[in-house]
Amino acid sequence: MPLPKAELHLHIEGTLEPELAFALAGRNGIVLPYADAEELRHKYRFKDLQSFLDLYYELMAVLRTEEDFTDLAEAYLAHAAAQGVRHAEIFFDPQAHRARGVPMGTVVAGLARALDRAPERHGVTTRLIMCFLRDESAESASETLAAAAPYLRHITGVGLDSAEVGHPPSKFREVYEEAARLGLRRVAHAGEEGPPAYVREALDVLGVERIDHGLRSMEDPELVARLVRDRVPLTVCPLSNVRLRTVDVLSDHPLRTMLEAGLMATVNSDDPAYFGGYAEDNVRAVADALRLTEEQLRELARNSFLASFLDDDEDLRSAYLAEVDAYVF
């Protein structure tokens, strides 16, 4: 059994395996421009974030009904449970679905059906985080938050994703202020391809509690000192960083340096269907490449629960931490 862990950086649309994409396409009468799942998988070679996003948005065309979103989440939860995930905080991209005529209610109801039964079926607790697409306008983000009003009981927080460079966090100041007023938790992708200044803006302007990726913070020692002092969690995604070429090879990944600097890093899978592995696959790969110690692996697992939004259920957090402490390698 793998080390128990929380997954805090996971795009549900990025869990769409080629086989499921073809099954959903068939069910919905959509013809994909690929012969089969194998041919599609061969397209999973990316030169940067944008080249991945192009395929990621294209394949979303197969997600149309509530049932599609339930099946997608169900498949992820089964994978996650097998990899030791006990708690998952799951991103979704409603603007990408609304643009195709799939309403917010369809997406949330479909996901919620799988998430609500996940503790019983898979032994996994969950939270849902709605992301704004940063390459869309600030007005579109505000409209999206307004459209989510009837569904906020299912939604714990907001995030910010998609093409980073040229779309600084400050563009979304107002919608994050509104999210805070609504009692939503706040996270944002920053420092994946964008500069350390975007990490500072996410903290100072958006008031985020966690940084997704945050890798390029390592270029700015003062920022690192601040992140260490304030115990700001970074949701690091090692296989994603290599596949999207922000890191050349896994053995060059800064995760070990980050832990040694005292940063509160966690390991996550980002878009596992596209990047070659789920949560434990990421842990194993980066642990082997960087020769992480058992104590560092335990620290990563502890961090994942400490950084989670389980605050409304402290007993559960304590129980998960006790499982990590009792784990025998």
Binding site for ligand ADE (CB under 6 A): 11, 14, 49, 56, 161-162, 189, 192, 240, 270-271
- DSSP one-letter code for 88: E
**What distance, in Å, lies between the first and last C-alpha atoms of the chain?**
9
Report the residue number, 127 or 189, with the smaller CB distance to ligand ADE.
Answer: 189
Distances (CA, A) of 317 to 46, 183, 327: 37, 21, 16
- DSSP one-letter code for 135: T
Q: Which residues contact 105 (CB under 8 A, 6 or more apart)?
A: 150, 151
Total residues found in the chain within this entry: 329
Other Cβ atoms within 10 Å of 300 Cβ, number: 23
User: Least distance in Å: CB of 157 to ligand ADE?
Assistant: 16
Nearest residue to ligand ADE, by Cβ distance, number only: 161
By CB under 5 A, tell whether 89 contacts Zn ion: no
By CB under 5 A, tell whether 193 contacts Zn ion: no
- Contact (Cβ atoms closer than 8 angstroms) between residue 190 and residue 202: yes
User: Least distance in Å: CB of 244 to ligand ADE?
Assistant: 7
By CB under 5 A, tell whether 13 contacts Zn ion: no
User: Could you say which of ligand ADE, Zn ion, none residue 253 binds, taking C-beta under 5 to 8 angstroms by partner kind?
Assistant: none
Q: Which is catalytic among the residues 17, 74, 192, 201?
A: 192
From 167, 195, 165, 199, select the one nearest 50 (Cα to Cα): 165
User: Least distance in Å: CB of 165 to ligand ADE?
Assistant: 11
Bridge partners, 189 (sequence order)? 212
Report the residue number, 201 or 270, with the smaller CB distance to ligand ADE.
Answer: 270
Report the residue number, 64 or 94, with the smaller CB distance to Zn ion.
Answer: 94
Q: How far apart are CA 232 and CA 249, in angstroms?
A: 26
- Segment near Zn ion (CB under 5 A), from 42-50, 220-228, 270-278, 319-327? 270-278
Residue 192 designated active-site: yes
Report the residue number, 144 or 235, with the smaller CB distance to Zn ion.
Answer: 235
User: Least distance in Å: CB of 189 to ligand ADE?
Assistant: 5
By CB under 5 A, tell whether 270 contacts Zn ion: yes
From 183, 178, 200, select the one nearest 191 (Cα to Cα): 200
- DSSP one-letter code for 270: B
User: Could you say which of ligand ADE, Zn ion, none residue 201 binds, taking C-beta under 5 to 8 angstroms by partner kind?
Assistant: none
| Residues known to be catalytic | 192
